[in-house]
Structure 1
């Protein structure tokens, strides 16, 4: 071999030796699981996503060392997106995560405006999706499933409260005070309102309450004089509503101006009133409002992902942000709890069919409580509890303006009751 050939051969050998460790490093790198997370963090529903940044930081910190499944260690990448409270944007974001980012699992939360379009995109694309925080009837029947018929869904699963949860909680809550048992209901003409009108209202009537329905109204309505006049004429001492937060603020201020709030003994709100900022904006009108509580820091369940109790999570959030804890802390953590439990239960988390099957039989306890898709009440759904709670003046020395106390626990007796329900007026 010539001197030039020897140098060339040596150079090639050196390159090969240099490439060896790089190739070995690439081959030994952990495979990556991509998890999409879609929620509303800005817009009219933005208050419901205000804890997301904190929860994402906790989850990413916990998963930084990876997730071992079936003896294989996976890196986990969470791709989070803000819908800006726009259903069309929610759908677009989901499709981008599916088609461009090639996610393995989708997680989504909070109201039909977010959850349904994301679930629909995943169902169409064959991507496993797990969701929470909206009535399961609005998710299941609102997306085309029919009562008594087989489930049309193969890829999408939902764990959350439903009409039955509210019926059990509300009948328990409403029995706590003497009233004339007349309930004025203000349900919007949207997926939540129509599902609740079809499920909750008839059950309340069966329980012996007179339901006075002011009729469907459109989101964004600015004048509620006709509805208020009807509730006053019927002397509805109980009031119940499922509006978007800005609509309730408008209604309740008008109800106070027109004298309706003075006859209300129980004001039970849902969808709004979930976080302190929504009720604090009402000033004195917020005191003694009743709320449906799907998570409270005193729930007796810890996060299997982070190991934190509810109190520990709430305290960490308040210390980190200076803001008061909210229900969404525990529910969003529960979504990641259930999602990681499903990933671990699958034989191959990169196999979408195997992952969907693992979700369909998932039985775990998240921070919010038990999740069991084998129990139903319909395929693809696991029902979680809602308990009654009330916004009250805080104890002396509190740095916050209001406190949320659990007042009944009919849907889960393991949850501690902190106070008796007080009359609103």
Structure 2
């Protein structure tokens, strides 16, 4: 029997449509099947950590049988098909080619993905129509709970418990009641892991909406996977330029399914220059910068550097350094030679700890040090000991913010107090941005007639306009499509006083254009 005749006979067999189609693709003309595995490469290869592509000669494409509306539908597009499609059951040679025996073993393994009710697939694209599935909204949540950026994940356990309690009675949308399931994952502060957990949430957990937070290393791969798979995604805690331009978007070609809110270069420029010129500490306006060779560093160098120069500051830039550098002697020497009395950096927390200790040992002591990406959380400052006192940082949330959560009806102060009482830990600003992430998500879900319609939900994210516990957000008037900015003020870390149970405390020392956020003191020079 020739292969085309076998295709016709198999496709006529009265099996589940998804079963018939996938079995035909896998077993017919094995020698002509090619499989290429490629690693995740950022915005240009956005699907998952690995993307499997199954190729079948055009003449062997089987006829498509009629599928009743009640049946599952299958789409295994190359851009959304993870390595799990086949590789779990195959031994793939290093050159990427596959033997007939390997493919047949993969076919046997794939059989475990089938059930009588349809196809449970790692290839994605199935939309089941059972009442049980339709009545549940599955929200994926990804953040770095371990690894170099683990500090950003500190509030996760508290927030997950509070939010699950908030959603215990479900959500009523368009006259229908939906239960809400939050499925949280740890990116381990690693881009490849972030891509892998995104693929799992999309393809295995069948999420309806993705939420992701904290650093480009976590956020960008997850957002890329969602854009490729057409899954609505909302993110925060990454300067928006690093999220937007870093993923390859332009104002002419924005994203369709991924949205983001956070500060950007304009907010940083306004906050820094206000603090450095009006804070009461005189300097020579020379700024030593350490901007790394990563998405944050590139966005800041291209955007913030020129703006600071236009504002009359002299930039002392020894050049981009690699994350994980252990010796900063060259940078320190350059700052000392230029007498840079202001210092600014966007490093990973361990890198800054290494640099700051070396700077003190080698005699570099700027009058002002404004840092970002680290120095944002109490645990990061405590790890520095007395060397952390006097560091300044941008605050996109604090208990002093005069806003209330749309989900819990708690003010910023009440939310911070609740966290400290529940965990015994000091509040940090990620609590506010991550709570706001869910506030915007629920606002968008409720704005749809069908929250499971991906296109409608993505459009609702793009129209969101509300005031969250982190402040007002407006996606209709952002700097670019897909983006809303938020308030930013400057705080300074000091040794805790007044019988505090914590080692350090932040004081808002400059509120810039946000006069409704109260100041708690004046900027003090580094000692």
TM-score, normalised with respect to structure 1 = 0.91
Q: CA deviation at 1:76?
A: 0.4
Q: CA deviation at 1:412?
A: 2.4
| Alignment partner of 1:391 is 2:500 | no
Q: Distance in 1 between matches of 2:232 and 2:447?
A: 14
Equivalence map 1:263-412=2 (5 Å) = 264-412=366-514
Residues 252-282 of structure 1, C-alpha deviations (whole Å, 9 max, x = no match): 0000000102xx1111010001111111111
- Residue-pair matches, total: 396
The root-mean-square deviation of aligned C-alpha atoms, in Å, is 1.3
Q: Distance in 1 between matches of 2:222 and 2:381?
A: 29
Equivalence map 1:2-401=2 (5 Å) = 31-146=135-250, 149-175=251-277, 176=279, 177-261=281-365, 264-401=366-503
What SS is found at the alignment partner of 1:403? strand
- Counterpart of 2:61 in structure 1 is none
- Counterpart of 2:96 in structure 1 is none
Q: CA deviation at 1:70?
A: 1.8
Q: Distance in 1 between matches of 2:489 and 2:372?
A: 11
CA separation of 1:97/1:180 partners in 2, compared to 1, >3 Å: closer, same or farther? Answer: same
Q: CA deviation at 1:395?
A: 2.4
Q: Distance in 2 between matches of 1:203 and 1:164?
A: 9
Q: Distance in 2 between matches of 1:237 and 1:346?
A: 52
What SS is found at the alignment partner of 1:64? coil
Q: Distance in 1 between matches of 2:449 and 2:244?
A: 27
* Conserved? CA contact 1:138–1:192, under 8 Å: yes
Q: Distance in 1 between matches of 2:476 and 2:512?
A: 22
Q: Distance in 2 between matches of 1:50 and 1:414?
A: 28
* Conserved? CA contact 1:151–1:380, under 8 Å: no
Q: Distance in 2 between matches of 1:413 and 1:140?
A: 29
Q: Distance in 1 between matches of 2:396 and 2:458?
A: 25
What SS is found at the alignment partner of 2:510? coil
Q: Distance in 1 between matches of 2:133 and 2:215?
A: 38
Q: Distance in 1 between matches of 2:441 and 2:260?
A: 11
Higher RCO by CA contacts (8 Å cutoff, separation 6 or greater): 1
* Conserved? CA contact 2:194–2:221, under 8 Å: yes
Q: CA deviation at 1:316?
A: 1.1
Higher mean C-alpha deviation, range 243-252 or range 358-367: 358-367
* Conserved? CA contact 1:30–1:73, under 8 Å: no
Q: CA deviation at 1:405?
A: 1.0
Q: CA deviation at 1:411?
A: 4.2
Q: Distance in 2 between matches of 1:133 and 1:412?
A: 19
- Counterpart of 2:50 in structure 1 is none
Q: CA deviation at 1:152?
A: 3.3
What SS is found at the alignment partner of 1:407? strand
* Conserved? CA contact 2:211–2:234, under 8 Å: yes
* Conserved? CA contact 2:466–2:472, under 8 Å: yes
Q: Distance in 1 between matches of 2:227 and 2:152?
A: 25
* Conserved? CA contact 1:66–1:76, under 8 Å: yes
Q: CA deviation at 1:292?
A: 1.1
Residues 285-306 of structure 1, C-alpha deviations (whole Å, 9 max, x = no match): 1111001111111111111011
Runs of 4+ in 1 over 4 A off after TM superposition: 26-30
Residues 159-179 of structure 1, C-alpha deviations (whole Å, 9 max, x = no match): 000000100000001011211
Q: CA deviation at 1:413?
A: 2.4
Q: CA deviation at 1:28?
A: 9.4
Q: Distance in 2 between matches of 1:346 and 1:405?
A: 41
* Conserved? CA contact 2:134–2:452, under 8 Å: no
* Conserved? CA contact 2:494–2:506, under 8 Å: yes
* Conserved? CA contact 2:381–2:388, under 8 Å: yes
What SS is found at the alignment partner of 1:211? strand
CA separation of 1:28/1:98 partners in 2, compared to 1, >3 Å: closer, same or farther? Answer: closer
* Conserved? CA contact 2:237–2:262, under 8 Å: yes
